[in-house]
């Protein structure tokens, strides 16, 4: 019988891993994001081209095999701005455990997207912010892409 991870287990595991990293957590968060991006890009038959191709490929991956959230919708706007709206994120529960313990949360998804955009869209990508307008598990990750 297949055994899927529960949200509770994943949240506790995420919190335990990042708490164990201590002051090195931000460095490893970026590294984990890059590893996730490389893994995804290696699975693709061909790299997506342009903003729309990247958006379609990333959303399909998040919706299908890497389903870490209930919703992950990406938008690109003029001027090199991009954002992704996420709802029902499994990682946010672990970050809430960390914050409740006086620690800082870590989001490897934000770093995964940053790394994947940089490698695919051939630009310098900066994570410019994160807005959390709704319940735990909802955010908008914002990026700037410079050529």
Quick one: which H or E segment has residue 100?
A: helix 90-100
Quick count: other Cβ atoms within 10 Å of Cβ 45? 4
The verdict on residue 1 lying in a domain is no
d(C-alpha 6, C-alpha 56), whole Å: 28
Is pLDDT above 70 for 61?
yes
d(C-alpha 3, C-alpha 145), whole Å: 39
Tell me what pLDDT residue 25 has.
95
Residues 48-69 have a mean pLDDT of 93
Is pLDDT above 70 for 1?
no
Is pLDDT above 90 for 5?
no
- Please check whether residue 10 is in contact with residue 90, taking contact to mean a CB–CB distance below 8 angstroms: yes
Q: Give me the domain span that covers residue 79.
A: 7-146
The pTM assigned to this predicted structure is 0.91
Residue 79's pLDDT band (boundaries 50, 70, 90)? confident
Q: Is 102 left (phi over 0), alpha (psi -120 to 50) or beta?
A: left
Is pLDDT above 80 for 2?
no
Sign of CA dihedral 51, 54, 55, 56: positive
Quick one: which H or E segment has residue 39?
A: helix 25-43
Is pLDDT above 80 for 44?
yes
Residues 6+ apart with CB under 8 A from 43: none
The verdict on residue 77 lying in a domain is yes
How many structural domains does the chain have? 1
The verdict on residue 2 lying in a domain is no
Domain with residue 51: its CATH number is 3.30.1380.20
Is pLDDT above 70 for 3?
no
Tell me what pLDDT residue 123 has.
84
Tell me what pLDDT residue 108 has.
96
Higher-scoring residue by pLDDT: 89, 134:
89
Residue 6's pLDDT band (boundaries 50, 70, 90)? confident
The verdict on residue 13 lying in a domain is yes
């Amino acid at each position: 019988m297949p055994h899927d991870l529960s949200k509770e287990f994943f949240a506790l595991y995420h919190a335990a891993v990042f708490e164990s990293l201590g002051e090195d957590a931000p460095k490893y968060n970026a590294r984990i994001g890059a590893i996730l991006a490389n893994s995804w890009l290696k699975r693709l038959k061909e790299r997506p081209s342009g903003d729309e191709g990247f958006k379609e490929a990333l959303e399909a991956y998040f919706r299908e095999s890497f389903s870490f959230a209930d919703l992950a919708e990406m938008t690109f706007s003029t001027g090199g701005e991009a954002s992704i709206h996420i709802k029902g994120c499994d990682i946010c529960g672990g970050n809430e455990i960390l914050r409740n313990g006086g620690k800082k949360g870590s989001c490897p998804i934000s770093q995964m997207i940053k790394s994947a955009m940089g490698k695919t869209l051939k630009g310098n990508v900066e994570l410019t912010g994160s807005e959390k307008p709704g319940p735990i598990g909802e955010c908008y990750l914002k990026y700037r892409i410079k050529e």
